[in-house]
Structure 1
Amino acid sequence: MNKLFFFSIIILTILSSCNNYKPALLTSTQIFNEGQVPFKQCHASTIEQIGKDSLIAAWFGGTHESNPDVVIWTSHYINGKWQHPVQVADGVLGDIRYPTWNPVFYQHPASDSLYLYYKIGPNPREWKGYYKYSLDKGNTWSTAKALPQNILGPIKNKPITLKNGTILSPSSTESKDEIWKAHLEISADRGNTWSIVNINHASPVQVIQPSIVKHKNGNIQVLCRSKENKVMSSFSNDDGQTWQPWQATNLLNPNAATDAICLKNGQFMIVYNPDLAGKDWWEGRTKLRVALSKDGLNWKDALILEDGKKGDEYSYPTIIQDDEGLIHISYTWNRKSIKHIVLK
């Protein structure tokens, strides 16, 4: 009886601790400072753990978004300090130079290879997917390889790996007539071949840039940027093969990117801009918040990351949780730098 009572107390303590969890800010730093790098603007970062206390981040940077001089840069986080950025990919295809876009890191749990996915093309309606891989934690990279026809790679947020090794890569398209649709790119052989599963393409709801989270019951959920002024969601109960109708979460979305993960404590965390869309696409990105949820639909704000003024831009967050349980968030800071936040 005493053992049963003691065990019950432990379970209740764990449940209480999850219910009462509130993220705490540990550090807030810029990966580089304006004027110390050879590019004027930067955007769309990605971040990955590459060892104990070590990280790597990437973003695109150049004169301005969509300019042909925009290339992919990386920086390593070593001994608590971000290193000077290094160019690792460009958009040169034959005799033509295009801008690069939206880098995304991915590492399969059963492999030491670090993959860097990115896009090359004049704009998001015409870009194509490319990737490089590194065998030494991002210090050196392979030559660029094109993804198969119609495979774009992860558009903005990271893939997830199922227990059976299958990769679910969140992607989307933007057509020339400005129609947005989300899909998954699925690989059962570590990225050698891919198949496409559309997510509710018959629906009038327009979404892009999904994040993928997995629930305890095995369901897969996507959370998307949308034209609906809400973060939109859909669920799959068959590992992403079929999808339920779109549902609006209680989170505002001003036509801006988000990212979400499932934490080790079982709760879900999202980073988002809490505003409505304005007349111009960049409006609504002056504030950035962290929210928590137990079901992926009903969210509660837990932390304010930025509370800016008109003209500021804090956008395109990416989020991971490292092996020690620390949460790392990177995001665009006024297009002048990439900010790195650490939470516990």
Structure 2
Amino acid sequence: MNTNIVEAANIAMDHGIRTAYADAQRKEAFLPTPCIQNHAANLHVLDNGDMLCVWFGGTQEGIPDVSIYMSRLAAGSNAWSPAEKLSNDPTRSEQNPVLFSAPGNRLWLIYTAQLSGHQNTAIVRRRISADGGKTWGPVETLFDRPGTFVRQPIITLESGAWICPVFLCRTEPGERWVGNDDVSGVMVSDDQGATWTFKEVPESVGCVHMNVHVLQDGSLLALYRSRWADFVYASRSANGRDWSAPKPLDVPNNNSSIQFTVLKNGHLALVFNESDASHSNERRASLYDDIEDSEDSGELRDQKASERGTAFWGAPRSPMSLAISEDGGKTWRRRRNLEIGDGYCMTNNSAEQRNREYSYPSIVQSPDGALHIAFTWFRQKIKYVSVAESWVRG
């Protein structure tokens, strides 16, 4: 029997954090959840040491019963709390949650809300907590431009400006969204989120999930997922508003999410799938080709190819890997796999438990220097792993 499955069954019993099987340098757990499908985790550390994880869960991505959930690892605790449901719109699929600590002890939750599998209908919503996520204010619309998506955290610049990375899921009238013409940009606020201005990243067609951080030298680096399932792309900025065109790195990408963080020593830590289209013998028509609803009844025509071609869906989402860069993201020579498997993702159907992907990772560093990672496990659970940077050396 697959040792990953046996290990998962053992860990899933109590959701406590324990030493990994056959690896004393690694701690891990599965987060408690009531949902059939769980996906798109994001981690956030509060000033009091609590760690929060948000994700979306329900029957299946794109179905309206998908909502936002949160679990807490209280400071000093070794177990994640039961999942709390933070959204509940019965008409839209609510996805890709992100947390942000704003001034004045305000914790922001932002997430997308779309009609069925049509990402070009998505808007971005917000809730604010004044007590570290214990209670939440009303649901508000943050960005109302249809097709606006978030996946990565808001950052604050030294100037005080807020930068919220977004990507736009674009279609022509009558077209069904399949991801061929998505572009990235940043929403910029100079008044702590009261108003926002959009700045598009040039030549960014197919580069999405823009993940931005300030480097030790004060410059900004953005890394991107590729719709073409070829490489992780990178662009740079001096002010957070004006960006260079994304260029490929020597790091593969499979048209699945990535995330990186800047460590206290200036190194960068990246979690990603060491896979690309060349590892795939199959191809899906789209992300949502296994969802049927009234809007998919044939009234919409398929989307034409963009200037760069058609998005690649179905490349294996495995292994889940951790990489370290010591030169500001130019090279990523130190790498080690967190999970290994076939990464089968030709379906998003979790009810039948056919998906075997490790995907959509999030990574943060706690004040004690430990790296904390959360990611999708077979689209059934959110898995949590903690290691030291030295673990990557093996």
TM-score, structure 2 normalization: 0.75
Question: Paired residue for 1:139?
Answer: 134
Question: Paired residue for 2:386?
Answer: 342
- After TM superposition, the structure 1 = structure 2 runs for residues 19-98 of structure 1, keeping only pairs within 5 Å, are 25-32=25-32, 37-78=33-74, 79-92=77-90, 97-98=91-92
Distance 1:204 1:211, change over 3 A: closer
Question: Paired residue for 1:221?
Answer: 221
Question: Paired residue for 1:190?
Answer: 192
SS of the aligned residue for 1:138 comes to: coil
Describe the superposition over 1:113-143 as per-residue Cα deviations: whole angstroms up to 9, x where unpaired. 1110001111322100100011111111111
SS of the aligned residue for 2:86 comes to: strand
Alignment RMSD:
1.9
Question: Paired residue for 1:129?
Answer: 124
CA contact (8 A) 1:57 1:74 kept: yes
Question: Paired residue for 1:296?
Answer: 329
Deviation at 1:205, TM superposition (A): 4.4
Describe the superposition over 1:189-238 as per-residue Cα deviations: whole angstroms up to 9, x where unpaired. 111111111101xx27421101112222221111000134000111112x
CA contact (8 A) 2:204 2:245 kept: no
For 1:259 and 1:61, how far apart are their aligned partners in 2?
Answer: 20
AA at the equivalent of 1:323: P
TM-score, structure 1 normalization: 0.85
CA contact (8 A) 1:73 1:85 kept: yes
AA at the equivalent of 2:331: N
CA contact (8 A) 2:319 2:343 kept: no
Worse-superposed segment, 256-265 or 300-309: 300-309
For 2:169 and 2:146, how far apart are their aligned partners in 1?
Answer: 14
For 1:290 and 1:100, how far apart are their aligned partners in 2?
Answer: 28
- After TM superposition, the structure 1 = structure 2 runs for residues 1-344 of structure 1, keeping only pairs within 5 Å, are 25-32=25-32, 37-78=33-74, 79-92=77-90, 97-108=91-102, 110-122=103-115, 123-150=118-145, 155-176=150-171, 178-200=180-202, 203=203, 205-228=205-228, 229-237=230-238, 239-277=239-277, 278=280, 279-280=283-284, 281-293=313-325, 294-311=327-344, 312-344=356-388
AA at the equivalent of 2:270: I
AA at the equivalent of 1:40: I
CA contact (8 A) 2:184 2:200 kept: yes
For 2:147 and 2:156, how far apart are their aligned partners in 1?
Answer: 18
AA at the equivalent of 2:184: A
For 1:257 and 1:61, how far apart are their aligned partners in 2?
Answer: 17
CA contact (8 A) 1:71 1:90 kept: yes
Distance 1:298 1:139, change over 3 A: same
Runs ≥4 residues deviating over 3 A? 151-154
Deviation at 1:295, TM superposition (A): 2.5
Describe the superposition over 1:149-200 as per-residue Cα deviations: whole angstroms up to 9, x where unpaired. 3398771111111122211111101223630100011111111111111101
Deviation at 1:25, TM superposition (A): 4.4
SS of the aligned residue for 1:335 comes to: coil
AA at the equivalent of 1:82: W
- Unpaired runs of 5+ in structure 1? 1-23
Deviation at 1:66, TM superposition (A): 0.6
CA contact (8 A) 2:122 2:149 kept: no
Deviation at 1:343, TM superposition (A): 2.0
Worse-superposed segment, 83-92 or 180-189: 83-92
Deviation at 1:76, TM superposition (A): 1.1
CA contact (8 A) 2:122 2:148 kept: no
For 1:154 and 1:186, how far apart are their aligned partners in 2?
Answer: 15
Query: Across the two proteins, how many residue pairs are aligned to each other?
Result: 309
Deviation at 1:304, TM superposition (A): 1.2
For 2:360 and 2:249, how far apart are their aligned partners in 1?
Answer: 19
For 2:146 and 2:196, how far apart are their aligned partners in 1?
Answer: 7
- Unpaired runs of 5+ in structure 2? 1-23, 172-176, 285-312, 345-355, 389-394
AA at the equivalent of 2:363: I
AA at the equivalent of 1:49: V
